[in-house]
Amino acid sequence: MPGDPKECREHAKRCLKIAQEATNPALRASLEDIAQQWLRLAADLEATKPLLEAWGDPSFFGKLRSGAVNSASSPRLSENHQADTKLIASVGTGALQSSRCGGQIR
């Protein structure tokens, strides 16, 4: 699969650490926004993995219509959302929890 969600999360973590040290508020906000984008990319990559794996399966379209492809990825996406939240908490920044990020990370 192109792209590695773990690498994306590492990039997000680095952005958040640099943002913590930034003294310029605009730079800090930009780095936090970039971290949010890395986390979204990680989630998107994980959400598409079952579709990419199923693409070669002859019964792919039947599974897609029945919802089997999407339901298989839901528990994993929930677990990864929790991991993303823990990542942000471990770095200690509160800015991504603000409303300007759409409230996606709590």
80 has a pLDDT exceeding 50:
yes
Please check whether residue 71 lies inside any domain of the structure. yes
Number of folded domains in the chain? 1
> Does the pTM exceed 0.75?
no
| Strand, coil or helix: 106 | coil
Helix axes 68-91, 5-21, angle to 10 degrees: 30
> Between residues 49 and 6, which one has the greater pLDDT?
6
Please check whether residue 99 lies inside any domain of the structure. no
Please check whether residue 68 lies inside any domain of the structure. yes
Please check whether residue 66 lies inside any domain of the structure. yes
The stretches of the chain forming alpha helices (DSSP H) are 5-21, 25-55, 60-66, 68-91
Place of tokens 């959302």: 81
Domain encompassing residue 80: 5-92
Average pLDDT, the chain: 74
71 has a pLDDT exceeding 80:
no
Please check whether residue 102 lies inside any domain of the structure. no
